[in-house]
Every structure is written in C-alpha cells, then in structure tokens.
C-alpha cells in the first residue's frame, strides 16, 4: 500500500487554493482561508483513520477550529470529503483538458491521459484511494461526481480523438478506457511494490491497450456509436 508522502499536504493545499481561487466563491479572504484549512487538515485524518473511523471531532482537532466554525462551511464529515473530491476531480480535469487539446496524435492523447491520471493519483496516495473506493459505491455522495467527471473526460477524449483521427467512436469506448485506468490506479495504490518501475510498467501496458484500440487495430464497426432508434 502506498504511504502518505511528506509532500501530500502541500500538494492538496496547492490544488485547493488553485481551484477555490479560480472560482472566488468563498467570500472574504479570511473565510476562504478558514474553509481551505479545514479541507487541508482533514486530508491527513481521512488518510490515517479512514472514512468510517473519522469523526467530526477528529476534523476539528486537526484543523484547530471550533465546532461553530466547522458548521459554517460543512454539514458533516461526508460533506468535507465531498468537497475534497470535487476539488481534486476538477483540478485533474482541467489538467487533462489542457494537455489533450495540445496533443497532435493518438499516441500523445493516450500518453498524456495515462501520465496525468497515474501521476495525480499516486502523488496524493491514501486520500485518493479512499475517495476512489467510496465514489464507486452507488449510494455514496461521491458517486454522482465520479459519474459526471468520467462523462466529461470521455467527452474530451472523444472530441480530441476525432480531431486527430477523423473517427467518431461511441463515448462508451472512452468510458471503458477510463474505468480500466481507475482499476489500474486502485491496484497500484494498494500495491506494496509501488516503485517507479512498477508505475512505468502499468503506464506502458495501459497505453498499449488504449493505442491498440484507438490507433486502428480494432473492429471499428463494433466501436462506432449506436444507431438512433427509429
């Protein structure tokens, strides 16, 4: 299992500040700072204790805030985790969209997608694993955000692949690749041997599978969009 790196809080702090700054929806600077600090310090608690064992009091103690301040921003611990997940996913999508639009070939689209997905998830370690596992539960508050995020990424991939190849494939093709990426990432996050070499190997296999499908080594009729019912 991947252990939390010393840079984990710095990484999530940068992500949270970047996304909240872009939205500028938190009001005065002091209020924005308070919400950001709650989110940042909650990361370590969730990573260490897991969602079930974490209590609101644990989050209060970690952030050094009062219960009154906490409830100005969040309803409960699930609301905190949901905010962290939304911010993390939005940041990943922004990075992915930027790199996808710069890609000039199938190989570049695939390589950039794999690099961003694996590097992002592994850089944040345990908290990403916890959120990914929680989001895969149908009754989780994170599940709708996961579905929306994957639909967005699949749409971007579809548009960029059409741009570089001229082919139009069903969005389910891209969602299938994203689900596979998710499974690869979870396996890595639970792998005791998560060395640079192992990560590189996973990237190579995933890239090879995706390129085989998207670069033409497939039955295109099977992958084309379904005909509309008449």
* 190-228: pLDDT as tens digits: 876 777 888 888 898 999 889 888 877 666 676 677 766
Task: State how far the alpha carbon of 226 is from the alpha carbons of 114, 129, 134, 167, in Å.
Answer: 27, 34, 32, 14
170 part of a folded domain:
yes
The whole-angstrom separation of Cα 83 and Cα 81 is: 5
- Could you tell me which residue, 119 or 134, shows the higher pLDDT? 134
Same-domain check for residues 180 and 111? yes
**Host domain of residue 136:** 85-217
Residue 2 resides in a domain: no
The answer to the question of residue 134 being in a domain is: yes
Q: Which two tokens stand for residue 220?
A: 């295109």
Contacts of 77 (CB under 8 A, 6+ apart): 42, 51, 54, 55, 56, 59
- Degrees (nearest 5) of the Cα angle 41, 124, 154? 120
Q: Residue 104's CB: how many other CB atoms inside 10 A?
A: 10
Question: Is residue 225, in this structure, part of any structural domain at all?
Answer: no
What's residue 2's pLDDT?
35
**Number of domains composing the chain:** 2
| Judgement on whether residues 144 and 102 belong to the same structural domain of the protein | yes
Is the pTM for the entire model greater than 0.85?
no
Q: Is the dihedral of CA 71, 50, 63, 116 positive or negative?
A: negative
Query: What pLDDT is attached to residue 88?
Result: 85
Under the banding of pLDDT at 50, 70 and 90, the label for residue 5 is very low
Domain endpoint, select from 37, 58, 77 = 77
64 to each of 29, 61, 160, how far by Cα in Å? 18, 5, 46
Length of the chain (residues)? 230
What local confidence, expressed as pLDDT, does residue 222 receive?
Answer: 67
Point out the least confidently predicted range of 51-60, 94-103, 117-126, 168-177.
Answer: 117-126
φ, ψ for residue 97 (rounded to 5)? -60, -45
71: tokens are 């409830």
The fraction of the chain above a pLDDT of 70, given in percent, is: 81
Domain containing 42 — which CATH number? Answer: 1.10.10.60
Give the least confident one: 10-14, 67-71, 152-156.
10-14
Higher pLDDT, 14 or 178: 178
Token pair, residue 206, equals: 């995933």
CA–CA distance, 116 with 121 (Å, rounded to integer): 8
| pLDDT (mean) for 13-40 | 65
Determine the average pLDDT of the residues in 89-109: 89
Owner of token pair 């499974």:
183
């Amino acid at each position: 299992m991947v252990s939390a790196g010393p840079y984990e809080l710095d990484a999530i702090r940068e992500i949270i500040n970047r996304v909240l700054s872009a939205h500028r929806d938190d009001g005065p600077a002091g209020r924005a700072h308070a919400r950001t600090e709650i989110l940042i310090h909650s990361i370590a608690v969730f990573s260490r204790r897991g969602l079930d064992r974490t209590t609101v009091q644990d989050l209060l103690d970690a952030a050094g805030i009062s219960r009154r301040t906490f409830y100005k921003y969040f309803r409960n611990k699930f609301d905190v985790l949901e905010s962290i997940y939304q911010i993390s996913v939005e940041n990943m999508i922004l990075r992915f969209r930027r790199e996808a639009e710069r890609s000039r070939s199938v190989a570049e689209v695939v390589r950039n997608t794999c690099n961003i997905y694996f590097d992002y998830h592994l850089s944040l370690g345990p908290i990403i694993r916890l959120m990914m596992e929680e989001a895969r539960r149908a009754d989780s508050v994170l599940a709708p955000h996961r579905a929306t995020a994957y639909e967005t990424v699949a749409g971007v991939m579809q548009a960029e692949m059409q741009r570089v190849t001229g082919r139009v494939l069903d969005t389910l093709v891209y969602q299938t690749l994203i689900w596979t990426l998710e499974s690869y990432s979870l396996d890595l996050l639970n792998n005791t041997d998560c060395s640079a070499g192992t990560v590189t190997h996973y990237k190579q296999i995933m890239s090879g599978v995706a390129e085989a499908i998207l670069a033409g080594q497939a039955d295109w009729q099977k992958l084309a969009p379904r005909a509309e019912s008449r």
